[in-house]
Amino acid sequence: MATTATPYGLKAVNHIGGTPYAGSTRLLPIASGYASNIYNGSIVSIVAAGTVEMVTTVGSSAGNVFPAGVIGVFVGCTYTDPNLGTIVFSQNWPTGTVASDAQAYIVDDPDVVFMAQADATVAQTGLGRNTHLAAVQSTTTGDTTTGNSNSAIDATTAVTATFAFRIVDFVDSPTSTVGDAFTDCLIKFNAGIHSYDNSTGI
């Protein structure tokens, strides 16, 4: 059962119609020297410079909504090591890395369903309701050893239209079920949140 708080960011599972997620990603640039760790499972956006950065709002309401450039979920990156001159493939972006060829692998399909752990119990009544990140993503919201995010979603659900995610289902497995102490939920970006579903430019 999901009785322990072990959040892992967002993990792609399938598409909203049930089609399996086949692992497709888009490569987008990271600015050389970008001064924040980005972890596998972190939500990222395109900024005005045309590069990818980690989102630093929780995606809730006034003052904390996601930016218009939200493009999906970071699942790794590649860059040339500035000391060794070799190509690196990494689960995470190490803060401050100087590399002019840095590229992020992004799950950018707005119809992908992600698995995410809540920061407390979500009951069956949470199905179809909206949620957001439980805390702001930052350079420390992950593990630099594994490269994985440790972001969770907020267990307090609502109908608020500005909340970033819709709960579309719950993980049902021998180790996880709806109503667990830290419920594993299946979520997708709400309409108008993802950049591809938002007519506002960056």
Q: How much of the chain exceeds pLDDT 90, in percent?
A: 94
Helix (H) / strand (E) element for 29: namely: strand 26-29
Tokens standing for residue 96: 């401050």
Chain segment 7-61, per-residue pLDDT in tens: 999 999 999 999 999 999 999 999 999 999 999 999 999 999 999 999 999 999 9
Helix (H, G, I), strand (E, B) or coil at 124: helix
| Banded pLDDT at 201 (limits 50, 70, 90) | confident
Q: Give the tens place of pLDDT for each residue, 164-176.
A: 999 999 999 999 9
Round the average pLDDT of the chain to a whole number and report it: 96
| Distance in angstroms (rounded) separating the CA atoms of residues 21 and 18 | 9
Q: What pLDDT, on a 0 to 100 scale, did the predictor assign at position 38?
A: 98
- For residue 1, pLDDT beyond 80: no
Q: What is the pLDDT of residue 62?
A: 83
Residue 2 clears pLDDT 90, i.e. is over it: no
pLDDT, one tens digit per residue, over 133-159 is: 999 999 999 999 999 999 999 999 999
Cβ distance 155 to 165 under 8 Å?
A: no
The 11-15 sheet, strands edge to edge: 11-15, 112-117, 184-189, 165-170, 130-131
